[in-house]
Amino acid sequence: MDFLSLLKEKEILLFDGAMGTELMRRGLKLGEVPDKWNIDHPEVIREIFEQYYKAGSDLVQTATFRANGVALEKYGIQNLLEDINKSSGKILRSICPPNKCVIGDIGPSGEFLPPVGNASINDLKKGFQKQARALAPFIDAWHIETFSDIQEMKAAILAVQIESNKPIIASMTYKKTPKGYFTVMGNSLIDCVSELIDSGVAVIGSNCTLSSSDFIELVRVMRVTAPKFPLSIKPNAGNPQLENGKSVYKQTPEDFAKDIKQILEHDGQIVGGCCGTGPTHIQLLRDIIDRLTGG
């Protein structure tokens, strides 16, 4: 399904939930590279994709959050970049139902630009280009997500635009401060929204870091800043708590869904879940969306 046609056709699109949380439930160990499961345990990746489509997701993204050139080099498995991305793309494309979309997922490099770190824009862009080139044959649109530096985000957008003409959802991650919403690198939500719209993406958004209740106000600010631009929202299932060395998200699916319902009242056009969410959360959102739209 053409992503832009689906976006225009439906009042609300439902994204998927988390991948990392689901892999941990299935045995992913601390320190293990989740993206490598695309080639080591493709049957598990396939099962999670299928569960999200079955729960009602219109959009499901590849399991390739850290599968860019720079991030994989840190793990010492940069030689597996093509295999990881192509495997995830093939699996997801093979099970995608009619009138649904495959989304290519690209996360940040994990490195920092000066003055915080020593990464170069050119190296980051090359790493994102390699990933985009491998994923491009399989996807309907892109989700460049969880970026905390607008400069790195713009490098990723440019890299994808070089390799593909498919639409881009550009999603930053913010913290709530007394002065408003900012990335950890100090980029304000208002500045990010403006720069992302100017970059030629199809959808702007935010995901991760914040709980669903915090996103209610964030969406109001985004909507004032970008009155008519499509928005994508994927909150966490509450704030994480550390138990036995693992982050645990304890917000109930029901409370998460109530917050998303409020977000939809402020015109978030694409909604889903990030860390701590799973198929149960998505099924509840499907029910809410269907009631709101008469679907």
pLDDT of 54-70, one tens digit each?
999 999 999 999 999 99
The pLDDT of residue 247 is above 80: no
The pLDDT of residue 30 is above 80: yes
What is the average per-residue pLDDT within 10-29? 95
Q: How many other C-beta atoms can be found within 10 angstroms of the C-beta atom of residue 241?
A: 10
Q: Where are the beta strands (DSSP E) in the chain?
A: 13-14, 59-61, 101-106, 141-147, 168-172, 175-177, 180-182, 203-211, 231-236, 241-243, 246-248, 270-271
Confidence of residue 239 (pLDDT cuts 50, 70, 90): confident
The pLDDT of residue 78 is above 80: yes
Q: 137-141, 144-148, 181-185, 224-228: lowest mean pLDDT where?
A: 224-228
What is the average per-residue pLDDT within 135-148? 98
pLDDT of 108-126, one tens digit each?
999 999 889 999 999 999 9
pLDDT at position 240 is 76
Residue 236: alpha-carbon gap to chain centroid: 11
pTM higher than 0.85:
yes
Q: Are 69 and 76 in contact (CB under 8 A)?
A: no
Q: Domain containing 245 — which CATH number?
A: 3.20.20.330
- Segments forming the whole domain that contains residue 79: 3-293
Confidence of residue 127 (pLDDT cuts 50, 70, 90): very high
The pLDDT of residue 245 is above 90: no
The pLDDT of residue 243 is above 80: no
Percent over 90 (pLDDT), the chain: 91
Q: 113-127, 137-151, 238-252, 276-290: lowest mean pLDDT where?
A: 238-252
What is the average per-residue pLDDT within 61-90? 97
pLDDT at position 140 is 98
What is the average per-residue pLDDT within 177-188? 96
- Sheet containing 101-106: give its strands across: 13-14, 270-271, 231-236, 203-211, 168-172, 141-147, 101-106, 59-61
**Which residues touch 82 (CB under 8 Å, ≥6 apart)?**
130, 134
Confidence of residue 244 (pLDDT cuts 50, 70, 90): confident
pLDDT at position 155 is 98
What is the average per-residue pLDDT within 29-50? 96
Q: How many domains does the chain have?
A: 1
